[in-house]
Every structure is written in C-alpha cells, then in structure tokens.
Copies of this chain bind each other. A is one copy, B any other.
C-alpha cells in the first residue's frame, strides 16, 4: 500500500519533467490513426482521476460486488482537453492526483478493506488491492506509452541505429 502510494504520488512530477514547455511537435505527435499523443494521454489520466480510480474504491467500500463499477470512457480526453494547453493539463493532473491521494489516506484502508471485492463491468470480480495495483501499473503504462510515442518521432532520424532501439523497432528488450 505504501509502495503503491509512493509511486502514485510521483507520476505528476515525472510527466511534468518530461512534458512541460516541450516544443509542440513533441506534444501532439502520435503513432498514426487512432493512437494517442502525449497531450491525449495526460487528458486520459485526468479523466481517470476525476471519474474512475477513487470512485471505484468507494463503490467497493460502499456496495461490494452488489454494484458494478461505472464504465470508463476511454475517449473523454478529446472533449476534456480541447483548447487547453499542456501546462494547464499537467497542473490539473497534479492537483487532482494530490486531492485523491489525500482522500485515499483519509479512508485509512486496512488489510481487510484491501481484500474486499467489487465488480468490474467486464472483468467480473476484483479486489480493492488489485484496483490499487492497477492504478499504479496504469500510470507506468502511460509513462511508457508517452516515451514510445516520442521516440518514434525519430524512427527515420536514427538511421541504422534503428536496429538497436527496441523502442522504435517494437521488439521487447
């Protein structure tokens, strides 16, 4: 639990260090049709803070498996981010995450709370502990995605080194 919170608390600073004030070319680049840019990913993370992670924790605590989680809208970031700057998204992500971690601390989850079960609309029974671990892994998944999207802007520029760069070749290192 402490380990998970240690990670969740630092993701906003990681993305800030990586993305704030970066030239726009890096920020809006994606990997082709129906893929996300770093800008889209930060909007997606904000939407998760607003509507998903903590809300699901509360549903488990209040209703257990009796009430399935609300579905998460994977495309909400397009409306959410429209017309905004990366700096404004990074600020909001940091604020929302901090508020959610404060509220999480206030819940004082015990080991038996962590073992409580909830119902995912597609995956079925899950535990609160699994939900917390997923929150962490989901952050890291998107840090990885942003790194990959950015590196791939240099797919041609790296020339023969392409063979050595797993981030571009797509092979798993």
Point out residues on A near B: beta carbons under 8 Å: 2-3, 6-7, 10, 13-14, 16-18, 22-23, 25-26, 120, 123-127, 129-131, 133-134, 136-138, 140-141, 143-145, 147-148, 150-151, 154, 157-161, 163-168, 170, 172-173
How often does this chain occur in the complex, in copies? Answer: 2
* Contact partners of A26 in chain B: CB under 8 A: 3, 6-7
Question: Bound complex: CA of A16 vs CA of B23, how far in Å?
Answer: 22
Q: What is the distance, in angstroms, from A36's C-beta to the closest C-beta of chain B?
A: 9
Instruction: Determine whether the beta carbon of B130 is less than 8 Å from that of A157.
Output: yes
Query: How close is A13's CB to chain B, nearest CB, in angstroms?
Result: 4
A130 touches B144 (CB 8 A): no
Which residue on chain B has the smallest CB distance to residue A22?
B6
Once the chains are docked, how many angstroms separate the CA of A14 from the CA of B150?
Answer: 14
- Pick from B16, B144, B164, B170: contact of A167, CB under 8 Å: B144
A-B contact pairs, 25 of them (CB 8 A): A2-B23, A3-B25, A10-B17, A13-B17, A14-B14, A18-B143, A120-B161, A123-B161, A123-B164, A126-B160, A126-B161, A127-B159, A129-B157, A130-B158, A130-B159, A133-B157, A133-B159, A136-B154, A140-B148, A141-B147, A141-B165, A141-B168, A144-B148, A147-B147, A170-B172
